[in-house]
Amino acid sequence: MIDITKILKRAWNIIWTYRALWAIGLILALTTAGAMPRNNNSGWREDVRRPGESYEWPSGETIQEAVEQMRQEFNRVNTWERISTSEWNTFLWILVGVVGLAMVLGIVMTIVRYVAETATIRMVDEYERSGQKVGIRQGLRYGWSRTAWRLFLINLLISLPVILLIVLGLGSGVGIYFLIIADNPLFSVPGVIAMIGLVFLLIFLGVVLGVLLQLLRDFFWRACALEQVGVGEALRRGWSMVRRNWKSVGLMWLVMIAVRIGWSIALVIAFVLSLPLLLVTGIVGLLVGGLPALLVGGLSSLFLGGPLPWMIGAIIGLPLFLVVAFAPLIYFRGLELVYNSTVWTLTYRELNALQSLALGDNRPQVELEPIQQDDHDDRA
């Protein structure tokens, strides 16, 4: 059984003293989906209702009246009617260009993300083996290898079953909806209820499978990055390690859930304490995002009319504003990602060492080439 407390303390010590990992964590936070921390706790909303009291939700008529009033206010100047067909076509072509640019940026961010993931794993492993700390530039060189590509393939492979289940469930739900509104006589009420239950079951299984594969992925990645093996061998070795040490892995997984809850609480505290800093970064964000938005909107107004130029400006400026305005929280999120990665890297090393001792394995461990040299270890 692994010493979980020792691993958690060691991971924290590494994060606290290894400053280059902070920058790698910031890269991870900026390139990982859902980079902004989310806190689902309802502590901000206290239920102060007294016994017997109830709140009335707005009726459908009230909501409809509000929407109609907003629509009338929006169209009062008739700005949309002054937009010609050619201007709409120009706007659509610009929108297509922005989407294409976003796709290219997404590909670049994906590449950078897996380079950073690989760098984090191998920098921690290198530090544990030799006590050597490296800089940001050298760490990224360590991640720029075929291993990063293999991590992407592993993540893609384990995501396919979840995606398939969720798409199947949502597709079945859409099919049931159209059959119901078409009054198809082949479907009785019990049959429809049963199929709806099947849809929710598929979605539930997809969520459970996603959680399980997410846990296995951490071991697949480390088998690939630390033992320098291909995708298939990494899947085999990672699964074998989890299967042999399922108690330790399961206990560590539960502990990491508690750690994430504690990190969310710390995030709320950090958010409150950093409100003055967030005010400053918000002002800077308005400048960084607002100036490009005004520039793009002004240039677009030369050949577009109505609110279209400012819609394009908002599309360009809003992402810049969000990144700069919430930079402290993004940075905090990066530390969380690096800490989580470090814990699982240390867990994998500990389990691997215990397994070698139990089997009496005297084979030499796989050594990575020094980080100062070019990364040629993935040629095979």
Digit-coded pLDDT (tens) for 120-157? 999 999 999 888 898 888 889 989 989 999 999 999 99
User: Which stretch of 131-140, 159-168, 212-221 has the lowest confidence by average pLDDT?
Assistant: 159-168
Output 111 or 66, whichever has higher pLDDT.
Answer: 111
Instruction: Tell me the pLDDT band of 202, cut-offs 50, 70 and 90.
Output: confident
Residue type, 130: S
pLDDT tens string 17-74: 999 999 999 999 988 854 444 444 433 344 444 444 444 555 556 655 655 665 555 4
Name the token pair of 233. 């061998």
- Residue reference for tokens 């539930």: 204
Output 289 or 259, whichever has higher pLDDT.
Answer: 259
Instruction: Tell me the pLDDT band of 7, cut-offs 50, 70 and 90.
Output: very high
- Angle at CA 58, nearest 5°, toward 55 and 59? 125
Query: Residue 254 to residues 58, 128, 136, 260, 336: CA-CA distances in angstroms?
Result: 41, 24, 32, 10, 16
Cα dihedral 181/182/188/189 (nearest 10): 10
Name the token pair of 68. 């109609």
Q: What is the largest CA-CA distance in the chain?
A: 81
- A 10 A CB-CB count for 320 gives 18
Q: What is the mean pLDDT of the chain?
A: 78
Output 315 or 121, whichever has higher pLDDT.
Answer: 121
Report whether pLDDT(280) > 60: yes
Q: Residue 374 region, left (φ>0) first, then alpha (ψ -120 to 50), else beta?
A: beta
**30 close to 333: Cβ distance less than 8 angstroms:** no
Name the token pair of 345. 């890297």
Name the token pair of 312. 């394009």
Report whether pLDDT(236) > 50: yes
**Residue 72: per-residue pLDDT:** 57
Residues in contact with 344: Cβ distance below 8 Å, sequence separation at least 6, in sequence order:
218, 219, 222
CA nearest neighbour of 315 among 100, 112, 110 = 100
- The span from the CA of 241 to the CA of 354, in Å, is 11
Sign of CA dihedral 335, 336, 339, 345: negative
Instruction: Tell me the pLDDT band of 177, cut-offs 50, 70 and 90.
Output: low
- The span from the CA of 79 to the CA of 100, in Å, is 28
Output 74 or 376, whichever has higher pLDDT.
Answer: 74
Report whether pLDDT(311) > 60: yes
**Residue 179: per-residue pLDDT:** 65
**Residue 328: per-residue pLDDT:** 86
**219 close to 241: Cβ distance less than 8 angstroms:** yes
H helices of the chain, in order, are 4-17, 20-31, 60-74, 85-130, 136-143, 146-181, 189-227, 231-244, 246-273, 275-300, 308-325, 327-359
295 phi and psi, to 5 degrees? Answer: -65, -50
First to last CA, the chain: 35
Report whether pLDDT(11) > 50: yes
